[in-house]
Amino acid sequence: MEKPKVFVTRLIPEAGLMQIQEYCNAVIWPEELPPTRVQLLERVKGVDGLLCLLTDPIDAEVMDTAGPHLKVISNYAVGYDNINVPAATERGIPVGNTPGVLTDTTADFAFSLLMAAARRVVEADNFTRAGKWKTWGPKLLLGQDITGATLGIIGFGRIGKGMAKRAQGFDMRVLYYDPLCKDDAFAAEIGAECVDLDELLAESDYVSLHVPLTDATRHILNAAAFEKMKTTAILVNTARGPVVDTNALYDALSSGAIAYAALDVTDPEPLPGDHKLLELENVIVVPHIASASVTARGKMSTMAAANLIAGLKGEKLPNCVNPEVYA
Ligand code: DGY
């Protein structure tokens, strides 16, 4: 029997790739950079399945160019804002994602960004490398305490809760804002308080973003939001870049409206090396690596492969973001 044709838009970790190659006739994009729009449209023609990354915009045109055989789209990520899911649903195509396996890895990283910003770790390393370390200084590179401070979590899903769990170890007061999660057993257990967004912004020493990118969350942190925050506040974003208005963030950081930001995700992404944000000392920017542990990325690859292969077999995807296609 002929193997199903699939296009995999990047070299994902071995474990998942081997499963895909065993079951499918796979074309795998070998480059470090994603395929361009033209290359993507060319490669998807006639495929039965597509395994894509958050760097690949998958819209109706991509689906229609793939054609009527396209049975499944498997995203190698938990977030799926790169995919026009309603367009996939209209065409009866299930879309898979990779929840759960990166929760702790991402929460670990979000917390380490919080700590790095609070204690100015990146600035301090740059200081040493620049040969500026002359003596121990009573006022050298003073940062902020984490223990006992207030953490505001925007988005109380798996990763937001993971952040709250870590905050327990630092005796932090935890506030959260999430219209979809008001009465929560875990929140009650750890004493996290559900508040409205304005209260969270006004009271938090640290604000950490854990929402998916949707129309409702785009620019949830804008100029008006930064005005409500403490001038000592530190922002951590490991969610999606466009959840924050970048120009407003730049203004807030450069005017002192907030103290610091630690960003794993940016808008635009990647952030160009000459972007104005990178001229500021009170910002840390890393290249979207919150889930980048060997274990998490390996599990994401087997999960994405399992979604792809299930879809090709006409079975329900183990993790499907549009289960209404099965109705
Ligand atoms: C995701 O999975 O959505 C992350 O942003 C990358 O791991």
Distance CA 154, CA 201 (A): 10
- Give the residue-averaged pLDDT of 163-182: 96
Q: What is the pLDDT of residues 190-216, one digit of tens each?
A: 999 999 999 999 999 999 999 999 999
What pLDDT shows up at residue 1? Answer: 80
Task: Please work out whether the CB of residue 204 comes within 6 Å of at least one atom of ligand 1.
Answer: no
What pLDDT shows up at residue 223? Answer: 98
Task: Please work out whether the CB of residue 97 comes within 6 Å of at least one atom of ligand 1.
Answer: no
What pLDDT shows up at residue 68? Answer: 98
Task: Please work out whether the CB of residue 291 comes within 6 Å of at least one atom of ligand 1.
Answer: yes
What pLDDT shows up at residue 162? Answer: 98
Q: Is there a contact between 258 and 226 (Cβ–Cβ < 8 Å)?
A: yes
Whether residue 183 has pLDDT greater than 90 = no
Q: Is there a contact between 73 and 98 (Cβ–Cβ < 8 Å)?
A: no
Catalytic positions, written as ranges: 240, 269, 288
pLDDT > 70 in the chain, percent:
100
Task: Please work out whether the CB of residue 79 comes within 6 Å of at least one atom of ligand 1.
Answer: yes
- Give the residue-averaged pLDDT of 94-112: 98
Whether residue 251 has pLDDT greater than 90 = yes
What mean pLDDT value characterizes the chain?
A: 98
What pLDDT shows up at residue 297? Answer: 98
Domain ranges of the chain: 5-101+294-326, 103-285
At 182, the pLDDT band (50, 70, 90 cuts) reads confident
Q: Per CATH, the architecture of 5-101+294-326 is what?
A: 3-Layer(aba) Sandwich (3.40)
Backbone φ and ψ of 234, nearest 5°: -120, 130
State which fold the 103-285 domain adopts: Rossmann fold (3.40.50)
CA separation (Å) from 307 to 50, 65, 139, 161, 242? 10, 21, 54, 26, 27
Whether residue 40 has pLDDT greater than 90 = yes
Q: What is the pLDDT of residues 22-39, one digit of tens each?
A: 999 999 999 999 999 999
Q: What is the pLDDT of residues 54-77, one digit of tens each?
A: 999 999 999 999 999 999 999 999
Task: Please work out whether the CB of residue 75 comes within 6 Å of at least one atom of ligand 1.
Answer: no
Whether residue 237 has pLDDT greater than 90 = yes
Peptide bond into 268 cis (omega under 30): yes
Among 103, 106, 264, 295, name the best residue to mutate to test ligand 1's pocket (greatest count of ligand atoms within 8 A of Cβ): 106
Centroid of ligand 1 to alpha carbon of 78 (angstroms)? 5
Among 102, 213, 267, name the best residue to mutate to test ligand 1's pocket (greatest count of ligand atoms within 8 A of Cβ): 102
Whether residue 246 has pLDDT greater than 90 = yes
Q: What is the pLDDT of residues 270-323, one digit of tens each?
A: 999 999 999 999 999 999 999 999 999 999 999 999 999 999 999 999 999 999
What pLDDT shows up at residue 144? Answer: 98
What pLDDT shows up at residue 28? Answer: 98
Tell the residue number behind the tokens 């296009």, with chain if given.
7
- Give the residue-averaged pLDDT of 168-191: 95
Q: Which amino acid is at 181?
A: C
